Amino acid sequence: MILNLFKRNLFFLICIILSANALLANLRAPWVVNRYPSYALAISNPSLIVLKENLEFKCDPVYEGDGDLSLIVNKNCKVEAVYFIQSTVNMNYPLEFILPSEKIVTTSVNDSASEIAKPILLTISDLEKEGYRLSDLCKFCEENINKLYAASFNANFIIGANTIRVQYEQPLAVTEISHGYFQSSKWSNSFAYELWPLREWKLDTNFEMNIKFTTKVGSAFSRFFGKKIKAECRGLDLRFVKMPSATFKKQSGENGFKNFYEYNQNLNPNYIFTSNSKNYYDKDNLVYELSLKEKFPDRLSCYFGHEKN
């Protein structure tokens, strides 16, 4: 009798301890490591007309396992941005590309020999971060990994059609979307690309933008029995009242910073692309494709990762 009572009490005590540990595990804050976006080419010229832009992101597989900052910060996408530009004159013109990585940027013009550009660190004030809508991206970020750099290069344009090719690495943001004592964590990876600098350029009436990103998810057999991976892109309206400079120069004018950086409260900032996008598998890769016309969002945010439930 006493032995049975002792066993029963011991059983309930173990259950309470395990429940408390599970509760504590679920109460901890999830891992969130955000990264800054990269930007469309800056510094426009009235003699140049952008006909099309192709963006291709080849991303590392979705993050797995326990949170480890040394592993998270190395997740990235290899990116190629190709601009098709019509020029009315022959000229040598400087271009600037802004990105969140100090790794070398490779450029080529009209399929000429590739050149490299070393990104230079940009000094951005807290006010500028607010104005460029970057402060919202960095609530839980590590200060030493969230920096922006500028890579500059010269392009020799010829009269007629020109192709500008930019290759670089885009660090991935990593977010823990589900965790617990008796389950492994589930993760979402993402990247952002600022499209609004394109509005400084003269765009062709038939302008189009084609976005494609791929990530390795394994064979059909492993996908059937493993964690499901989904992918999508969303557009974000940054609610600019007046468009700031894409080159992070100090804004001036009648009202200084406020004139450029205040928010338009009448705009709905988020929207999801319900058409002109598709997901499919290509061998071991999950592929997402999206086509946009002249009415594109200020920021493109793309996500891929485990399904939460």
Per-residue pLDDT of the chain (309 residues; tens, 9 = 90+): 444 443 444 444 334 334 334 434 445 577 788 889 999 987 788 999 999 999 999 999 999 888 888 898 899 999 999 999 999 999 999 999 999 999 999 999 998 889 999 999 988 877 777 778 886 666 556 666 778 999 999 999 999 999 999 999 999 999 887 765 556 778 889 999 999 999 889 999 999 999 999 999 877 766 666 667 889 898 888 877 777 776 666 555 444 455 555 666 655 566 666 668 899 999 999 999 999 987 888 899 999 987 766
Nearest in space to 31 (alpha carbons), one of 207, 209, 188: 188
Fold of 31-306: Immunoglobulin-like (2.60.40)
* Predicted TM-score (pTM) of this structure: 0.82
Strands 299-306 and 229-236: antiparallel
Sheet containing 120-121, strands listed edge to edge, beginning at the edge strand earlier in sequence: 91-99, 149-157, 120-121
Q: Residue 263 is inside which H or E element, if any?
A: none
Q: Is the dihedral of CA 73, 176, 99, 148 positive or negative?
A: negative
Q: Measured between alpha carbons, how far is 126 from 195 in angstroms, rounded to an integer?
A: 22
Q: Measured between alpha carbons, how far is 170 from 187 in angstroms, rounded to an integer?
A: 18
Domain edges within the chain: 1-30, 31-306
Q: Measured between alpha carbons, how far is 51 from 156 in angstroms, rounded to an integer?
A: 17
- Residue 11 confidence (pLDDT): 40
For the chain, the farthest-separated pair of C-alpha atoms sits apart, in whole angstroms, at: 99
